[in-house]
Amino acid sequence: MIKVLIADDELVVRIGLKTTIDWEANGFTIVGEAVNGKDAVELFHKLKPDILVTDIKMPIMDGLDVIRQLKSEHCLFKALILSHYDDFDFARKAINLGASDYILKTELTEQKLLASLSQLAEQLAEERRLEPPQPSQLDESMPVVTNAQRARFLRKILDGELTSDNLPGFLAQRTPLFDRPCFVMACLNIEKQADSSQDIESNQFHQALDNLSANLLGRKGWNHTLVQTMSNTYYLVNLPCEDAESDATLAEVFDSLKRNIEQFLNVHLSMGVSQADKLITNLPALVNQSRSAWLSCYFEPLNSVRLAGPLVPSPVQICPALDTDFIRKSIALHDIEPVLEHIDTVFDALKEANNFDYVREVFNDAISLAKMIVSERKLTNATTLNDERFSYRNFDRLAKFDEVRKYILDLYTQINVGDNAEKTEKYSYGITRCIKFIKHNYQNPISLTDAADYVGISKCYLSLLFRQETGVNFSSWLANYRIEKAKKLLSETNMKIYEVAEMVGFENPYYFSKVFKEMTGESCKDFKTKGAVRSEH
């Protein structure tokens, strides 16, 4: 049995966790419950659990401090963070301290909890199997190469300072930087979710990304060096040759890295991976391979990790351009179809050019032109044409080429709709359908992914549009709607609280009670009692 220790200061949450799954039937046993962080540390030392399931906010010592202390004592365990605080800062700190998974209580279900626990149990078993013996003493005569030195080396390559011509001479004058025989480059483009608050360019985000990557790649015995440029993030991975020889192994590891980065850091990304090479002098070529592979991934509809094939130079092309005079004249005549056809033609040419920088340039030009047209035609009061819709940073929030194309097509469609005095819809067609989906399915455990599938657009794109048009993210809108329905049921029926919870889409009645009180300021029982008094009068 895998031993689990639960730490949460709320009784209803601890009860809810114990009743969420059949622990024994799934190979787990709860060995103890702690009501604060101090008790959690004491019980951990006494009971030696394999997995710690802990809330972040607890009295005396919070969950982050618990993990920090236990990790400093070199305890081998897995930590699963549960929190109602949808805040990147908490997730970042948890990852930096060694947490292995992070689940928001709003999204906690039997399936998600069991899947996380099972994954953590497998990881722990593998780490215990591979745990190396501690060396008796360090060889002080060996020079120590820091990761900062490796990062400076990689940046020189990315900046073009080191090329295939001068790299051999540079390396001949220095201590070897790497201790494994093979090299792979990965190129990532990271876009945050529209309802996320983190700054993907910040040092905090970079540190969280670096630590998460070290945790995942380290399980395979791989080392990595991470460098961010203006438009991409690059990994130089140093690994054993037996792993580098298998495309299946490379694809599996980098796909797992992608999934975990997206889950932990609430971002969306596309990734290209170079071929493996034993010669460090070939790193400039590997950089080009990884970027080329990423570009092919970016321009394709499916957002999978792409492994590089042979590098074929792209012909030099001129960036396709929008015909601004034609667009202005057509919109003035309310003739939107030729405009959309012209935009489609330009984006077809962009795809043919296979140049990421060209796509950004056309996106910015299209946004600038749209802003001028909206201002001239005084359409700024339209809900779907607010300032956020015209932010150039939206380009970095769109994960794929087809999403950029759709964003521009939808924008000009909305300009035409906003210029039509007979149009009275508050939201765009896609967001109207999304809200309709919520209202028809709020009783079920629905997600942003479910809504995106219903509307027929990507999760990333729907998240961006939903916040732009409604002012809140999808999960907040859904929670508010569910609580409003719950208030009506509590006031007008004799249903029990657990029945109301189930009726409005909460699988855990204890958690429903907690969310209800946070959002209304009253407990379910008090609200129901006041409703009964009101009905008597």
Can you give the pTM of this predicted structure? 0.62
Fold adopted by 476-536: Arc Repressor Mutant, subunit A (1.10.10)
pLDDT of amino acid 514: 85
Q: Which amino acid is at 39?
A: D
- pLDDT at residue number 162: 92
By three-state DSSP, how is residue 537 classified?
A: coil
Q: Write down the H helix ranges in 303-428.
A: 324-332, 336-353, 356-376, 401-418
Which amino acid does the sequence have at 405? R
Determine the pLDDT at residue 7.
93
Q: List the alpha helices (DSSP H) in 300-355.
A: 324-332, 336-353
Write a three-state SS string for 467-513: HHHHCCCHHHHHHHHHHHHHHHHHHHCCCCHHHHHHHCCCCCHHHHH
Q: What is the CATH number of domain 2-128?
A: 3.40.50.2300
Mean pLDDT by 10 residues, the chain (537 residues): 91 80 90 92 93 88 86 84 67 69 76 86 75 45 68 92 91 86 91 60 77 80 88 90 85 88 80 92 93 84 68 66 94 92 95 89 95 82 75 84 93 79 66 93 90 87 88 90 93 90 87 88 87 54
Distance CA 124, CA 129 (A): 9
**What is the reported pLDDT for 143?**
52
Q: Any idea where the domains of the chain sit in the sequence?
A: 2-128, 147-307, 324-418, 429-471, 476-536
CATH class given for the domain over 147-307: alpha beta
User: Of 45, 44, 5, 48, which Cα lies nearest the Cα of 23?
Assistant: 5
Ramachandran class of 375: left when φ > 0, alpha when ψ lies in -120 to 50, beta otherwise: alpha
